[in-house]
Amino acid sequence: MSYDDQNIFAKILRGEIPNDTVYEDDHVLAFRDINPQAPTHVLVIPKGAYISFDDFCENASDTELVAYMRAIGKISREEGVAPVAGGNGFRLISNAGEDGVQEVPHLHVHLVGGRRIGRMIQPAAI
């Protein structure tokens, strides 16, 4: 599977469509989800062209990997949901591929919080 540079997050990174940015550095962009599922719902994406978490872990540089993780932590603190900074908690979700129900094929982590998020996954027959 190759990276589709027409996906909506690639367009956001190129400035072709607007976004509600909450954080940006050389390697990372984070913006509010257009259809929020919780009071805090931020999407954190690398600026590099990575399809999913597995692609990123395999192919990103150490610098990109570190920047991404640090950014997620920083955003959780800035959003006031980080437990180590007195927040009430959050959940990270990164959907990958068909079974993961990934809609946008550019790696993103959903950072959701601000309310009790509930069960980790929907119960279903395994």
Place of tokens 């959003």: 79
Let me know how many helices (H) and strands (E) the chain has, helices first.
Answer: 3, 5
Nearest-angstrom CA–CA distance, 126 and 123:
9
Count the residues of the shown chain that bind ligand AMP, applying the rule CB under 6 A. Answer: 13
DSSP class of residue 32? E
Q: Is 95 in the site for ligand AMP (CB under 6 A)?
A: yes
Which of positions 2-41 make contact with ligand AMP (CB under 6 A)?
8, 17, 19, 31, 33-35
Cβ closest to ligand AMP, residue 33 vs residue 78: 33
Cβ closest to ligand AMP, residue 19 vs residue 40: 19
Cβ closest to ligand AMP, residue 8 vs residue 117: 8
Buried b (16+ CB within 10 A) or exposed e, 78-104: ebebbeeeebeebeeeebbeeeeebeb
Site string for ligand AMP, 42-81 (x = CB under 6 A): -x--------------------------------------
Count CB-CB contacts under 10 A for residue 12. 19
The stretch among 45-53, 82-90, 96-104, 113-121 that binds ligand AMP (CB under 6 A) is: 96-104
